[in-house]
Chains A and B, each alone.
Chain A
Amino acid sequence: MSVSLTINGALRELEVEPRTTLLDALRDEMRLTGTHVGCEHGVCGACTILVDEEPVRACLIFAVQAEGLAITTIEGLAPAPGELSVVQDAFCEMHGMQCGFCTPGMILTAHALLKGNPDPTREEIVTAISANICRCTGYGQIIEAIQLAAQRLAGSNMPEGSL
């Protein structure tokens, strides 16, 4: 089947089998390998992407279902080559990762959280990232990274809701 997908602001046409997940389409057809495969049954959150700014597991949606939706992958976050978004930079500052495998999904989840809730409590952060499993960090430095990102965004005078 042919499908047109809007990925990181660009329209992409591709041919996929009806059974191809969006995850496989992103990785195998479009070589966007920043979206990671963890469990393929919707538990671990490694394949989290943003669909219309909401976190979605790319393993639980077929590519053909994504027609017309605005998809953001980790490759779409950095403002320019060699630069980092505020959230990405905060994850580096606090070392909110180790192996980096859950990191793209975790950062997209954090982006979605901070877009809707610029000043989250620790509990709200914990709840937001509870959909993403990290085996390395025990979550502590991830929570600290999101708190730091929120502080920096609050101090940046950027319009609320923009990241």
Chain B
Amino acid sequence: MSAPSSFRYISKPRRVVEDRRFVVGKGHYAGDISAEGMLHVALVASTHPAARIISIDASAALALPGVHKVLTGAEFAEGCEPLMNGLETPAVKRYPLAVGATRYMGEWIAAVVADTRAIAEDAAELVEVTYEPLPFVIGAEEAYDPASPPVHPGHGSNVLLDKTFHWGPVEEDFARSEHQLKYRVVWGRNATVPIETFAVLASWDPWRNVMDVWASIQMPKFADQIARALRLPMTSVRVHQDVDVGGSYGVKRGIKHTVLVAHLARLLNRPVRLIEDRLENMRGGDMHGPDRIFDVELAFNGDGVINAMKMRALDNVGAYAGRAPFQLGKPIGAIVGPYKINSVRYQAIAVTSNKAVEEAVRGFGQAPTNYAIETGVDLVAEKLGLDRIELRRRNFIRADEFPYLIPSGTSYDSGDYHAVVDKVLAHAGYAELITERDRLRAEGMLAGIGVASCLEPSGGNSSFEPLLNEKNTTTTWMESVRINVDALGTVTAAIHTTSSGQGHETLVSTVVGEVLQIDPDKIQVVRPDSIASLPGNSPVGSRMAIMMGGAAFHAAGKLKAKLFKIAAHIFGCAPEALTYESGVVSGAGHTLSWMELVTICHRHFHQLPADTEPGLEATHVFQVPTGVALPKDGRVQMYPCHSFEFHLVLVVIDPIIGKPELRRYVIGHDCGTVINPHIVKGMTLGGIAHGIGAALLEEFVYDEQGQMMSQSFMDYLLPSSHEVPHVEIVHHCTPSPFTVFGQKGSGESGYLGAPAAVSGAINDALRPLGIRMSKLPIRISALSDAVAAATDANQV
């Protein structure tokens, strides 16, 4: 591992190569792709949260000119397998269209296929569905009650997962602690809601036996799941990965969309495309995020040292079970945050309800958990009358204590939390910030400072799968890169995934350029289709800088080793005697230029050492640096790397209007060695914007009748440039010992701490009124109501 200053291309502010096509409108998104003879899909959606489907009358729809097919769930289920479940819940069957009964408002009941999307929408309105309403359950607590109507009667209850872990002497630690406190916080159901809805085009070639798929996806094992659902060999599913994805942040899973459209393409022998409209996306697109109630108890000493935590996390995953329950598992890898909490009891509960399906969202459950932990740390400080930052300092793992093993089995790689906090406080002028807050308070405003210190586990493996599902024995979550040097000496690297704005082409060309000492702008990065691809697991779990970067590094290293072997053979010396400079290999008084070496590889077999393949190509399939063993006694090594972020926020609230304004926002960020500063900066700022949305604005709200109330961007509010303040970033670099350049992940940065920091700032502002908000989002209406009630009560 080199010091950052010694890099040629890494950590340099190089342009992101993908940007050039985007600024001219030449991105290649799934919705831009069409095929000759393509048909279009619109969906008939359930109007009930729970109902038996008595009949579906499609006769009027089919009579409309241009309509080709109305597919129901019952017909679909005859020819295809259900979609994959993460847990062993075989009675919780999930198909793209409701089969026999509908389990949430907005669920797809039938798919209408027509010559144009407009005709398909017209026809969808003509499909008559007769329902027999059934009892339903919306809230998580109600669903957890054994008396609640089960969403899947065959499963017997609404409980998909209810597992309690004991890590360390929790009861003893509680007994020996001077103080305890107990609190509840609620993370409202929201999502990262990309501006591009999900789009997919599928085309079946019955002579080649190939299903071509172009889809806006960010999904591990995507082709595998299509093949299983359609009962095709994987060699017959060709997912085109050279599709640009218009934002994902975890949610572009789209498996039900894809299986549906691929099935229709095979059935009708025509290319079929589905582009969700916003309504289909919001209510039935399978992209809502965690919806979670936390009940937490903390045990601590009078000096503020927190000894133990009991956490119960109850997550409402909605009507079906995909990978969503695993979002309770991933946070186990950082369950104590950056703190030296000695023991933890963690109860993870996932329940079904008659809400839309929950899927993966940025951080995979970590942002809600961080919000719960950070709220507790603030409460401890308040109870003891200690400064919140001083309290954190007393509990932080110290820089000299890494690698640090936390009670749940993960070893944190590296960090210097105290240094990052010091830098942020110095940059922000913490004393002046407090003075400013107090000045605003004296003016009659509600003003508060929020802090959050938390971790971003990165380098995603899948250790939470075997931890929560004993039948799952996965211990690799590999990523691959292949490099080919052609006969003219130019370099192509192949990556095996789609990207949704992470800049993977820039990442790989930078890393390969660094190792081979070649200008990254001269390296072509391509994306073979899934049939031609090497194994990979897509950009989830903040993993690609570590995993794709690692694969590229090792592939380039193998290529260089081959050049050394050839040169050593020709020079008659040991490979160790050689040096490499910008493609030129020298030693023993000789040199071979890059082009001479390339020519030997491509044309001069007679010059190659024995047992050397001609050509110049290298492949590396990279295993996650840690976390290679199955769990033992409920403990497991989760992700290898742990980035750190410290947020400091000043919020001002007009007590009459209740609208919070983020007056100052500073974040200290340590993700080890930065590969591209533009990309990391953008991820951090964008993550903070998502976090502000989750803290203040965004929620999928259901009413008592089980109807979703936030179905458009008029009701589901996204932060605009007015809501996102100027953010000051303070950098720190603690390299990871486990990665090739010391890099850590940054794809979830900002988002993991912003909700906690904003919430903490608001609660600091409300403290003089004696009230606190313990549910996100803290919407203006809730805030102004709470302030008004407290003001009235204080006056009485």
List residues of A whose CB falls within 8 A of some B CB: 17, 19-20, 27, 32-41, 43-44, 46, 73-75, 77-78, 84, 88-89, 91-95, 97-104, 107, 122, 126-127, 129-131, 133-143
Contacts and interface: CB of A to CB of B under 8 A. Distances in A.
Given A102-B195, A135-B193, 14 more contacts: A33-B29, A34-B24, A36-B196, A37-B31, A41-B714, A43-B714, A92-B20, A99-B244, A100-B23, A126-B721, A126-B722, A135-B195, A138-B724, A141-B682
A44 to B, nearest CB: 5
Interface in B240-263: 244-249
B27 interface: yes
Contacts of B686: 98, 134-138
Contacts of A91: 19, 23
Contacts of A142: 721
A104 B27 CA distance: 10
B277 interface: yes
Interface SS of chain A = loop
Given A95-B679, A136-B501, A138-B688, A17 B23 contact: no
Contact of A46 (B195, B720, B724, B726): B195
B33 to A, nearest CB: 9
Contacts of B687: 138
B25 A74 contact: yes
Given A75-B24, A100-B27, A107-B23, A138 B727 contact: yes
Contact of A94 (B278, B503, B678): B678
Contacts of A143: 721
Contacts of A38: 195-197, 278
Sort A-B residue pairs by CB-CB distance and give the 6 closest, nearest first. Answer: A34-B25, A100-B22, A101-B246, A98-B501, A99-B501, A74-B25
Contact of B501 (A75, A93, A100): A100
A99 B247 contact: yes
20 contacts: A17-B118, A33-B32, A35-B25, A36-B31, A36-B195, A36-B196, A38-B278, A43-B712, A44-B195, A84-B20, A92-B19, A94-B678, A95-B679, A97-B501, A100-B27, A122-B726, A138-B686, A138-B690, A138-B727, A140-B681
Contacts of A43: 712-714, 718
B713 A136 contact: no
A130 B196 contact: no
B15 A95 contact: yes
B26 interface: yes
B192 interface: yes
B584 interface: no
Given A99-B247, A129-B721, A135 B25 contact: no
A111 B193 CA distance: 27
Contact of B19 (A17, A78, A95, A102): A95
B502 interface: yes
Contacts of A139: 685, 689, 721, 724
Interface string B723-761: 010110000000000000000000000100000000000
Contacts, number: 181
B192 A135 contact: yes
A125 B178 CA distance: 54
Contacts of B195: 36, 38-39, 44, 46, 101-102, 133-135
Contacts of B197: 37-38
B194 A37 contact: no
Contacts of A46: 195-196
Contact of A41 (B502, B712, B721): B712
B53 interface: no
Counting chain B residues whose Cβ lies within 8 A of the other chain, the interface size class is 35 or more
Contacts of A94: 678
* Most chain B beta carbons < 10 A, residue from A27, A89, A131, A139: A139
Contacts of A140: 681-682, 685, 724, 726-727
Interface SS of chain B = loop
A27 B273 CA distance: 15
A127 B720 CA distance: 9
Contacts of B275: 37
* Most chain B beta carbons < 10 A, residue from A95, A102, A133, A137: A95
B628 interface: no
Interface string B608-642: 00000000000000000000000000000000000
A28 to B, nearest CB: 8
Nearest to B688: A138
B685 A88 contact: no
A99 B43 CA distance: 27
A74 B23 CA distance: 8
Given A78-B24, A99-B244, A138 B685 contact: yes
A18 to B, nearest CB: 11
B159 interface: no
Given A36-B29, A107-B23, A137-B686, A99 B246 contact: yes
Contact of A100 (B246, B714, B750): B246
B503 to A, nearest CB: 7
B366 interface: no
A46 B713 CA distance: 13
A138 B196 CA distance: 16
B23 A138 contact: no
A130 B678 contact: no
A155 to B, nearest CB: 20
Contacts of B248: 99
A138 B718 CA distance: 11
Contacts of A44: 195, 713, 718
Contact of B249 (A97, A101, A126, A135): A135
* Most chain B beta carbons < 10 A, residue from A91, A140, A141, A142: A140
A95 B678 contact: yes
Contacts of B56: none
Interface string B25-50: 11101011000000000000000000
B543 to A, nearest CB: 17
Contacts of A34: 24-27
Nearest to B718: A133
A98 B25 contact: no
A100 B26 CA distance: 9
A133 B678 contact: no
B118 to A, nearest CB: 7
Contacts of B500: 99
Nearest to B723: A130
Contacts of B683: 98
Nearest to B679: A95
A108 B195 CA distance: 17
B713 A41 contact: yes
A131 B194 CA distance: 16
A100 B685 contact: no
A136 B682 contact: yes
Interface in B672-727: 678-679, 681-683, 685-690, 712-714, 718, 720-722, 724, 726-727
B247 A135 contact: yes
Interface in B176-206: 192-197
A141 B685 contact: yes
A122 to B, nearest CB: 8
Contacts of B727: 138, 140
Given A94-B678, A135-B192, A139-B689, A84 B713 contact: no
B379 to A, nearest CB: 29
A41 B278 CA distance: 9
B18 interface: yes
B682 A39 contact: no
Contacts of A98: 247, 501-503, 679, 682-683, 686
